[in-house]
Amino acid sequence: MDRRDVEITEKQTVYQGYFRVDAYRLRHRLHAGGWSRELRREVFERGHAAAVLPYDPDRDTVLLLEQFRIGAYLADLPPWQTEVVAGIIDEGETAETVAVRETREETGCDILDLVPICRYLSSPGGMTESVALFCGRVDSRNAGGIHGLADEQEDIRVEVVPANAVAGLLEQGKIGNAVTIIALQWLLLHRDALRRRWGQVDSADR
């Protein structure tokens, strides 16, 4: 099935603020043949995002961020979430541009090389947001401290974490958001290849 197998009969913006909510009436083709009955669905329009796992192959460390998240608080999860770098892609920007900018703003580090990981949907049942996820090479020697833009009221603490500790963080349930879980699991699978790409020895030989 493809986009031609969906018919939008009505679209209405029901909320417009910092974000937007649109209400749709639609129908779609069924796996067994024919068409569904008309459905009404509300869709949260948040925009699209780029995210980066900053990784230093020379020191075999990652940079992880901690900041307050109202959604986590209201879901009765730890309100200060451990995360990777992320930001919204504005009109006219590329995901790569956002990845470089947000890494500088949120960690104080520059991206030396950028490797695409994947692009995925955050919550396809009710949001259009997709995330373009990358791994970015950084120099973590002077990383750490508090970062973020004052005019966006960002209060971001940066921690340098040994890559050897990543599996433990995941196994102990210390990470509670999808983008960071995906990024760290990817690193576990590709860490040795990544270090070879960036001129380091295989981590198993260290």
Domains assigned to the chain: 3-45 (no CATH), 48-205 (3.90.79.10)
Tokens of 198: 């960036």
Amino acid sitting at position 198: W
What are the tokens at 17? 């603020």
pLDDT tens digits, residue range 27-73?
999 999 999 999 999 999 999 999 999 999 999 999 999 999 999 99
Tell me the pairing of strands 85-89 and 145-147. Answer: unpaired
pLDDT at 49: 97
| Strand 113-121 with 130-137, pairing | antiparallel
Cα–Cα distance for residue pair 58/206, rounded to 1 Å: 11
**pLDDT of 151:** 85
Which residues make beta-bridge pairs with 145? Answer: 158
pLDDT score for 205: 46
12 confidence band (pLDDT: 50, 70, 90): very high
Dist. CA 132–CA 51, nearest whole Å: 6
Q: In the predicted model, what is the mean pLDDT of residues 98-124? A: 97
* Residue 23 phi, psi (nearest 5): -105, 135
Residue 178, C-beta contacts closer than 8 angstroms, at least 6 positions apart: 122
Question: Which residue in this structure is represented by tokens 């102990």?
Answer: 172
Instruction: Compute the mean pLDDT over every residue in the chain, rounded to the nearest whole number.
Output: 94
Whether 159 is a known active-site residue: answer no
The distance of Cα 173 from the centroid of its chain, to the nearest Å, equals 18
- Which pLDDT value is given to residue 18? 86
Active-site position among 152, 154, 159, 171: 152
Strands (E), 17-168: 20-28, 39-45, 48-56, 61-68, 80-83, 85-89, 113-121, 130-137, 145-147, 156-162
Q: Give tens-digit pLDDT for 144-173.
A: 999 988 888 889 999 999 999 999 999 999
Nearest Cα residue to 82 out of 183, 153, 150, 191: 183
Spatial separation of the C-alpha atoms in residues 137 and 125, rounded to whole Å: 33
**What tokens were used for 93?**
């920007």
Q: Identify the pLDDT of residue 201.
A: 56
Residue 203 has pLDDT above 50, yes or no: no
